[in-house]
């Protein structure tokens, strides 16, 4: 049985999905830039930071 410490918590995964969808919606694919630049950058940075935390936590547990 998996140890609870080995898995990444559910709130991180929920946050990644929400931020991924929000970032995707902010991208204007016709011009390849954000519709709202400030908000798009915040979404993207938070998305990357959350992915980084998940990967870091997985590596430290293995």
**What is the mean pLDDT of the segment spanning 6-27?**
86
Q: Which two tokens stand for residue 32?
A: 């390849």
Q: Which two tokens stand for residue 2?
A: 């998996």
* The pLDDT value given to residue 61: 72
Q: Which two tokens stand for residue 19?
A: 């931020």
Instruction: Give the start-to-end residue ranges of the domains of the chain.
Output: 10-57
Which residue has better confidence, 56 or 4? 56
Asked if residue 6 has pLDDT above 70, the reply is no
Which uninterrupted H or E stretch holds 33?
A: strand 33-34
Note whether 19 and 10 are within 8 A (CB): no
**What is the mean pLDDT of the segment spanning 43-47?**
92
Which residue has better confidence, 10 or 7? 10
Place of tokens 């931020």: 19
Share of the chain above pLDDT 90, in %: 48
Asked if residue 18 has pLDDT above 90, the reply is yes
């Amino acid at each position: 049985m998996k140890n609870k410490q080995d898995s990444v918590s559910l709130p991180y995964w929920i946050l990644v999905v929400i931020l991924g969808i929000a970032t995707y919606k902010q991208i204007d694919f016709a011009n390849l830039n954000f519709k709202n630049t400030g908000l798009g950058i915040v979404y993207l940075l938070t998305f990357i930071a959350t992915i980084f935390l998940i990967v870091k936590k997985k590596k430290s547990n293995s």
